[in-house]
A and B are shown apart, each in its own frame.
Chain A
């Protein structure tokens, strides 16, 4: 079965100061996503996860451009598409849910018009069928009394409701892939739980694949089948969630897992020293080495190559590479 999405060696660069400075926001990342799967793209601010998503959907800001690599979706290379073709892809096959629902919703238009828009433009539905479609979508995201709420405006709704409306708009085109960029960061804990349950249910019903961009390992643990850890524009480790939580190969993944608080545990937290790197001034060699507890001398001079630990498990680390691949494969739970 061909994967739904295949990103190969994607490079996205930002240029500033009239082209004199180039920031490699995404520097050669590769991953695949199968139908119905959920991939967690995890990393801290500035690691390139949002830029990766914007590259996939073709919504990069003017200062950025894809400098290399391929994005194959449903067999077609998205990097070669024109803006108009990308618009059609975005309307039908790929949808995005962003962090701030107020930024995604137009305050001047009613909920009805915003949810109806994709169906109106991409599928040409009108009149009563359009109303029925909107009601259906609102029901799918569990908005109570959809017929009344259709006539409301975004400012009349709470944050959780708005995020559901954004979800309804995303579902309108019948997408095969939803990219959710920190959709629950601004939501209360119980609202977040409801929303995540909703996404899981929608996924079970429609078989849509989801890329979940977040800095929160808890969300990845809850929602994702596979995860890719990003640091300074590169994927430093990627594999199944279980493998990475149980036997992380990359020191950054290990450090992240060690730094999160666990409910009911008072065990001391592992604090990664230093700050996330400045992309304009990356250290030589492995970008993580200044903060790495296991750094070796040649980590500072050579960028680590990708080591494979299994059919779907890779890490970029000199230390991890010293472990025989087969042994690591056998040690990991599948």
Chain B
């Protein structure tokens, strides 16, 4: 039984909303993430999918410690991350890195590529300059670029190349988990395949795990081993990728599959049966947060929050249809 690289349990994040002015009275909470559990194994990619307001970005921020959760735990290789301080905390930061969506603002415009990539090394290690240069060259080769681009500045590169540089930077310190927040959404279609292939290749070579956040189900399903579906802060279904696409259990997942664009003109889909939009996270619906738009809603759904249960081994769903 291997320890997961990352395990989150009962993760919750509420943001306070207050009136402005002198008194700052709290008028409510934005319940951005509500009781999320999942685990990522070594060498695995967990896809995280959902629409705006589902909490996937907030979940990423919690894992990266950009925000503190209001409840719940995060464990990295078995250790409680939220209790880490000092050197142990730096150890976590060394092992968990991120690649953001926008390649044009992820790289410091006034730093050379060499300095950008070696920054994590400078922060976490005492390596001599030459060793750092070697590691940078290695990282560049790993992402399919030539080591001699290290002297250049970011503005000399295209979007796809910048993402590669960002990935190189994320790998340079024996990273064990990379959080990828929509890493190819801002890239041209022909470049996306390059980056996706590169990421898969890196995973099979280095054994690094990914948390792949995206909104395009086909893309996420392609690269992920398992997929977690989020809706309005709740994790509604987790399953192995092809299983999720073939047998989606939660009505929301089913809607996502119907809404997904076809790959061929003859791929006809039924019409989307859900309507309207995602409600505000300030006042989420009671019980199952999806019940207001669910075509199969029952009276129970408005009263009781469904608990996520395994329907088949390795396929769990949070829906009253299955209990």
Contacts and interface: CB of A to CB of B under 8 A. Distances in A.
B217 to A, nearest CB: 6
A188 B51 CA distance: 6
B261 A222 contact: yes
A66 interface: no
Q: How large is the interface on B (under 10, 10 to 19, 20 to 34, 35 or more residues)?
A: 35 or more
B259 interface: yes
Interface string B182-197: 0000001111111011
B221 A215 contact: no
B286 interface: no
Interface string B248-288: 00000001111111111111000110110110000000000
B256 A160 contact: no
Interface in B3-40: none
B52 A259 contact: no
Contact of A193 (B158, B219, B258, B277): B258
A173 to B, nearest CB: 28
Interface stretch (A79-87, A95-103, A127-135, A267-275): A267-275
A217, A258, A273, most chain B CB atoms within 10 A = A217
A74 B194 CA distance: 43
A266 interface: yes
Contacts of B256: 189-190
A190 B274 contact: yes
Interface in A187-228: 188-194, 197, 215-219, 221-222
A171 B191 CA distance: 36
Nearest to B192: A259
A276 B51 CA distance: 30
A261 interface: yes
Interface in B150-206: 158, 160-161, 188-194, 196-197
A158 interface: yes
Nearest to B198: A271
B190 A259 contact: yes
B215 to A, nearest CB: 6
Contacts of A256: 189-190
Given A189-B259, A190-B272, A263-B257, A275 B191 contact: yes
B119 interface: no
Contacts of A188: 51-52, 215, 278
Q: How large is the interface on A (under 10, 10 to 19, 20 to 34, 35 or more residues)?
A: 35 or more
B245 A192 contact: no
B124 interface: no
B216 interface: yes
A151 interface: no
Given A44-B188, A189-B217, A275-B191, A158 B277 contact: yes
Interface in B225-245: 241-242, 245
A263 B245 contact: yes
A259 B187 CA distance: 13
A85 B257 CA distance: 46
Nearest to B195: A271
A88 interface: no
Interface in B267-320: 267, 271-272, 274-275, 277-278
A311 interface: no
Given A221-B261, A221-B265, A44 B271 contact: no
A16 interface: no
A271 B272 contact: no
B246 interface: yes
B261 A245 contact: no
A190 B197 contact: no
Contact of A265 (B158, B194, B222, B277): B222
A232 interface: no
Nearest to B272: A193
A264 interface: yes
B145 interface: no
A260 interface: yes
A256, A261, A271, most chain B CB atoms within 10 A = A261
B212 to A, nearest CB: 12
A149 interface: no
Contacts of A275: 158, 160-161, 191
30 contacts: A188-B215, A189-B215, A189-B260, A190-B51, A190-B255, A192-B261, A194-B272, A194-B275, A215-B189, A216-B261, A218-B218, A218-B261, A219-B261, A221-B261, A221-B263, A222-B265, A245-B265, A256-B190, A258-B193, A259-B190, A259-B193, A260-B193, A264-B221, A266-B222, A268-B197, A270-B193, A271-B196, A272-B193, A275-B158, A276-B188
Q: 7 smallest A-B Cβ distances: which pairs?
A: A218-B261, A193-B259, A259-B193, A264-B245, A188-B51, A271-B193, A269-B193
